[in-house]
Amino acid sequence: MGFPQHRPRRLRQNPAVRRLVAEFELSSRQLILPAFVREGLTEPNPITSMPGVMQHTMDSLKATAADAAQRGLGGIMLFGIPEHRDETGSAGIDPKGILNRGIAAVREEVGDELVIMSDVCLDEFTSHGHCGVLDEKGAVDNDRTLEIYAEMAVMQAEAGAHILGPSGMMDGQIAVIREALDQAGKQDVAVLAYAAKYASAFYGPFREAVDSQLQGDRRTYQMDASNRREALLEVELDLAEGADMVMVKPAMSYLDIVSDIAQMSPVPVSAYQISGEYAMIEAAAANGWIDRKASVMESLLSIRRAGAEQILTYYAAEVAGWLNEGKK
Ligand code: PBG
């Protein structure tokens, strides 16, 4: 019997060798924690479909941001849930609106120790739950929505966000936002484009997280899961419009897209491990069907391996804790 010529197992024989040859690893500095702040709350409110994730009060949001900075996270992505919604999402452009107040409070708390990002989108603010305003036929009106995004972006920049995350998938949104920021003297505020954002069933728990009123779906503006090539077009357009970073969302069911974009993008590539991805891991782990910590780490590593640098994940703070423990 001949011996095998090649023995890849040699480099797997113990943890020290495996660590030496590991190609990818997670680092806290590249993890971004999404966080929800809700107007009128007196106590943090647990989100049932996302065990361990809360709608925050202003105070608990500040504490969460301070903790994120202390753990060495890269950033925090803020979402606001207003008390009152209307057809045009006017709470989104109110400088005293919940999201803008949240941004300001977090900026005051952590300064430049943590990158403060905010969601530029109308769905949390509209009574119908769509990411834009509706025309008389009930369709999302792209260009009227752009005007509102421009105003929203300036408000968020003025409140103190370092990076804006337009997530509404309106055509031309990056150009309009960049132009508005520059005109307002906010040349230093960066734009992280949700370039390839797919219409996904895995957003389910997020709808609970922001008490979404959405009727119908977002298929006229978010991308179709059937398409791969189109993601490259979205990225090219966003780059031409001035995006500083690009994102793929969701992450786990779209790792091919992450990989494609990582190969062509001259700017940093991020991916968003969304609410439904979190919920799946939590539900399976709670049933004892998978090992929670190992599954979380593997899921995030797969996103890194596909080529994303920054990862938005509801696990960010916890994973940073694990990574910090590992260093000791
Ligand atoms: C839109 C927005 C959504 C998410 C982030 N930004 C919801 C949607 O597009 O339906 C989803 C995030 C998640 O599911 O974790 N403002």
Report domain extents, the chain: 24-327
Name which of 121, 127, 118 is nearest 88 in CA terms: 127
Tokens linked to 28: 């806290």
Tokens linked to 163: 């990076």
Q: How far is the CA of 250 from the centre of ligand 1 (A)?
A: 9
**Per residue in 265-284, pLDDT tens?**
999 999 999 999 999 999 99
Residue type for 163, please? I
pLDDT reading at 326 higher than 90? no
Catalytic site residue 249? yes
Q: What is the pTM of this model?
A: 0.97
**DSSP at 150:** H
ipTM of the modeled complex? 0.95
**Per residue in 171-227, pLDDT tens?**
999 999 999 999 999 999 999 999 999 999 999 999 889 989 898 899 999 999 999
Residue 95 forms beta bridges with which residues?
none
Q: Is-contact 120 167, C-beta < 8 A?
A: yes
Which of 50, 98, 173, 203 for mutating ligand 1's site (highest number of atoms within 8 Å of CB)? Answer: 203
Name which of 165, 159, 203, 211 is nearest 41 in CA terms: 211
The answer to whether the CB of 119 is under 6 A from ligand 1 is: yes
Name which of 27, 20, 49, 46 is nearest 279 in CA terms: 49
Give the number of other CB atoms < 10 A from CB of residue 261. 26
Query: In the prediction, which pLDDT does 1 show?
Result: 80
**Per residue in 37-56, pLDDT tens?**
999 999 999 999 999 999 99
Q: How far is the C-alpha of 142 from the C-alpha of 133, rounded, in Å?
A: 8
Query: In the prediction, which pLDDT does 274 show?
Result: 98
- Beta strands, E only, 135-207: 163-166, 190-197
Q: Which atom of ligand 1 is nearest to the CA of 206?
A: 14
Q: How far is the C-alpha of 328 from the C-alpha of 306, rounded, in Å?
A: 28
Q: Helix, strand or coil for residue 145?
A: helix
Q: Is-contact 314 34, C-beta < 8 A?
A: yes
Residue among 96, 137, 186, 197 flagged as catalytic:
197
Selected from 3.40.50.2000, 3.10.129.10, 3.20.20.140, 3.20.20.70, the CATH number assigned to the domain covering 24-327 reads 3.20.20.70
Give the number of other CB atoms < 10 A from CB of residue 40. 10
Burial of 176 (0-12, 13-18, 19+ CB in 10 A): buried
Average pLDDT of the residues in 82-105? 97
Name which of 76, 64, 84 is nearest 125 in CA terms: 84
Give, using CA atoms, the residue closest to atom 6 of ligand 1. 167
pLDDT reading at 328 higher than 70? no
Rounded alpha-carbon distances, angstroms, from residue 169 to 30, 142, 249: 24, 9, 11
